[in-house]
Structure 1
Amino acid sequence: MGKQIVLEGERIATGYRQGKQLTEVHHGLDFRLSCGELTCLLGCNGAGKSTLLRTLAGMQPALSGRLALMGRPLDAYTAHERSKTIGVVLTDRMQAGGLTVYELVALGRQPYTGFFGRLTSADKALVWRALEEVGMVGKARRYVAELSDGERQKAMIAKALVQECPLILLDEPTAFLDVESRMEVMRLLRKLAVEERKAVLLSTHDVDQALAMSDRLWLMTQEREMLCGTTEDLVLSGAMDRLFGSTSIRFDAVRGIYAPENRNNRVVRLEAADEALRYWAQNLLVRHGFRPVAPDEGGEGVASLAVAGPQDMVWTQNGISSCFCSFAGLAEMLRPL
């Protein structure tokens, strides 16, 4: 049984109109978002991620193409209808320092509370439930100005949650957060997608978290294409190497990271007792200008490094072996070479 499609675009062009002047950012974009899935939008700075998110949120019109929300053209929705269907969390800091966390989250009920904004008991219950979902019940009476960046993002996500929208769009929600806070926010968004059956789309530069948490990826390439698919399918297809369009960095599909391409000419045979030792020995060798190869490669006269443990390493070159009990000692030896 297929998942319900919340948002679908066909041949979408994004950009700006200023009078008669048209500035196109992307064209021919095809995509869909389904309930219960977390999708991450990746691309370098200036790739057009924010422009696309604003278009999907109805903040600016698509230049061409068909964009449907819950099976209905997005441009047929009124602003009030959109506020009940699309929750948006932007990067820009909201001027809400004078509000408590509870008051900020309660603003998400405005599409339902009418002109005077009076909360019913049901509205209040939704606010408390959202605060509980994001782990902020204990901070409900704190002022937003007193929150950390990570806590502020959780409060903004709770505000979007009480709108009871099937679609949540977030523009770089993990920007400016420390590692722990980034992981907490990503885990929270995945939980909301899966357990609350939301379609969640966020733009991010956190490639590692996107690969670990997202069901699908949208990759904005340097060729102004957007590649969409299940995370693992895109990774193993080689699509990640098209994200930045640079030959100086390569995507390591085994470790799920980007790294400078190793163009070092000095070859060294590397043998290690396990994958962790191999990875960090290779990291040190590459940093010092070497190109590690397998123990049976490299030809005659090539140096070798055998790593049995962090305190048990043997470097052999020209028939002479040297033992090292730390990577620090090995690094000292490699520097003059």
Structure 2
Amino acid sequence: MLDFLSRRLAAALVTLVLATVVVFAVVEVLPGDPALVMLGTDARPDTLAAVRAQYGFDQPLTVRYLHWIGGLLSFDLGNSHAYGTSVARLIGDRLAVTLPLGALALSWALLVAIPLGVFAAWTHGTAGDWGVMGFTQIGISIPNFWFGIVLVLAFAVTWRIFPAGGFPGWRQDPAGSIYALVLPALSLSLGEIAILTRVTRSAMLDTLREDYVRTARAKGAPESTVLFRHALRNALIPVTTVAGLIAGFLIAGAVIIESVFRLPGVGQLVYDSINNRDLIVIKNVVILFTILVLVVNLLVDLAYVVLDPRPRVAS
């Protein structure tokens, strides 16, 4: 087991190093002057020279890369030229919105999709199965930002149950902050609910055809025991894989949803940084997203060890 996890951790570290090289190359190595990108083509030569000296753009590439990596390891991500404050503080404040939003959306997706997928597999070929599959087709087809606008019109403008946007802050109003994330999480999770439902249904159908499931039914086991104890646990292996991919997408895909609901999260920070040409913020946020996806993948590998004993036996 330790050998299995150590190999996964080594692969994650190699992926992270390669990601830092790619991000650094895209932002600072490719043709073009980073200072000119940050300040625009109308910037004065002395201003450009000052920015190059401030952010180290006049230093050799290896020195700049090693300085950036050292800052990542020491949590010194530099200062944003657009906001005039520490990048680490900026990202930390925004993560307090994005991470709860992603966690709530993933919870919605798992709590809704897995029961729907099990129900669709259990009622395979009937009206219940067709209804679930029709719902998933609609969920995949509808863009989440459009669904978010519909939710705002229905539950914020017409019925005034939830706020239309904004975020009061965890310290000022914890309950109101959770309340403000309900509609964004619902709109963000719609497509993921549809995908997870289809994956769960397909995995359950494959598992229900296995010999051990037929044996359990032949022994007179209750249908609930057959579904949830024998079939669902093995069906959760591909579902866990897709859920891990979706978790990374929910964090990175929150950019548009945070713009629709005016949430001060990392997605909104990326959007503003692109408009402000704040390259140092963009560079560090991309690496942050990479780290979060790698952490999710490691957690998925740990879930594999719990759900499937074969990696433990092989190691």
Which structure dedicates a bigger proportion of its chain to strand?
1
TM > 0.5 between the two?
no
Greater radius of gyration (CA): 1
Which structure dedicates a bigger proportion of its chain to helix?
2
TM score, norm. by length of structure 2: 0.22
Where relative contact order (Cα < 8 A, 6+ residues apart) is larger, the structure is: 2
TM score, norm. by length of structure 1: 0.20
